[in-house]
């Protein structure tokens, strides 16, 4: 069982979430709702979780193939449904930028395995109607 504690610590909406290992994430509402810029907004945190999930998967897959990843980053964009409550993610796009001595097709295969099979966050978002697209690029 996963255990998370969340405490109000700053202003009307500034929370600190703490996991069992004492890792802390600061969360706040949008400033338009009265947030104070104390932390990341919850829906942004969900995108960060998606990036972390796929990043771990992809690096793990490449590592099993004995490929050394020198650098790895993800640029993500997302669009939320307009005029609805709750306002879910309708579209998310991830751009994987990888520096490694790997064939581009192997990289794309690793990314596809994560996005289509292994990433639990992506699998959680899709049933809600989120369209997730991605691209992978080898960088120098």
- pLDDT > 90: what percent of the chain? 99
pLDDT band, very low/low/confident/very high, at 40 (cuts 50, 70, 90) = very high
Say what the pLDDT of residue 88 is. 96
For residues 104 and 139, give the distance between their C-alpha atoms in angstroms, rounded to a whole number.
10
Per-residue pLDDT of 96-130, as tens digits, reads 999 999 999 999 999 999 999 999 999 999 999 99
For residue 44, give every residue at least 6 positions away whose Cβ sits within 8 Å of its Cβ, in sequence order, or none.
Answer: none
User: Which residue ranges make up each domain of the chain?
Assistant: 4-33, 42-138
Say what the pLDDT of residue 11 is. 96
pLDDT band, very low/low/confident/very high, at 45 (cuts 50, 70, 90) = very high
pTM of the predicted model as reported, rounded to 2 decimal places? 0.94
For residues 22 and 17, give the distance between their C-alpha atoms in angstroms, rounded to a whole number.
9
What is the second-level CATH architecture of the domain 42-138? 2-Layer Sandwich (3.30)
For residues 97 and 20, give the distance between their C-alpha atoms in angstroms, rounded to a whole number.
32
Say what the pLDDT of residue 3 is. 96
Per-residue pLDDT of 1-19, as tens digits, reads 999 999 999 999 999 999 9
Say what the pLDDT of residue 125 is. 97
């Amino acid at each position: 069982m996963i255990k998370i504690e969340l405490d109000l610590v700053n202003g009307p909406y500034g929370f600190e979430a703490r996991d069992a290992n004492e890792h802390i994430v600061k969360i706040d509402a949008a400033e338009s709702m009265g947030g104070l810029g104390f932390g990341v907004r919850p829906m942004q945190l969900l995108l960060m979780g998606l990036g972390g999930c796929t990043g771990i998967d992809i690096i793990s897959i490449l590592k099993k193939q004995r490929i050394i990843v020198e650098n790895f980053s993800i640029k993500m964009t997302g669009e939320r449904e307009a005029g609805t409550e709750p306002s879910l993610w309708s579209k998310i796009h991830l751009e994987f930028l990888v520096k490694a001595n790997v064939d581009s097709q192997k990289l794309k295969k690793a990314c596809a395995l994560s996005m289509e099979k292994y990433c639990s966050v992506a699998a959680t978002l899709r049933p809600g109607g989120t369209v997730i697209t991605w691209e992978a690029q080898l960088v120098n």
